[in-house]
Structure 1
Amino acid sequence: MSDAEADLREELTAAFEDADYPVTSMTSLLPELSRGPMTKFSAGERTYSAMELAKLLSGHEEFPYEDVEGLVDDVIAGLKAEGEL
């Protein structure tokens, strides 16, 4: 696991660990974000807003998510599949 991946995994886990699981859609995660869709996440030298992540990950997510680990795993896998991580 790269440092960028580890850092992003930590940020995403902190942002979404207190969500009300199961999570059934991206929009149900918005209340967990301090700045809503403009909340920023960093992966190495790249920074993504939550809105950018949602666009990049369209088609990679598999709702519902029962826990934060599954959600974060799919975000990381989706970014890798898109060549972003």
Structure 2
Amino acid sequence: MPKSKTTRKKAVYTPPAKTEAVKVSPRWLAPTMVAAWIIGIVWIAVFYIVPPGTPFISTLGNWNLLIGFVFIIFGVVLSTRWR
């Protein structure tokens, strides 16, 4: 079998040096994230459970759902920062 006239030598692969340190989440992140989820769920649950005549809850009306979902979404946004 004839050999090819051009011989290609592949360079040996050397991975890039790891200069980055391992990223660690701040200590407050996980408790804040879980607390935001719990507050949001409890807020929505209380809105559905309490009687309609409750002063604070009935004043806000359906805005209670928005408040609860804002807490839940805030917890989800924090969870994207968690390492």
Query: Radius of gyration: which is bigger?
Result: 2
**Larger RCO, structure (CA 8 Å, separation 6 or more):** 2
**Structure 1 and Structure 2 fold alike (TM over 0.5):** no
TM-score normalised according to structure 1 size:
0.27
TM-score normalised according to structure 2 size:
0.28
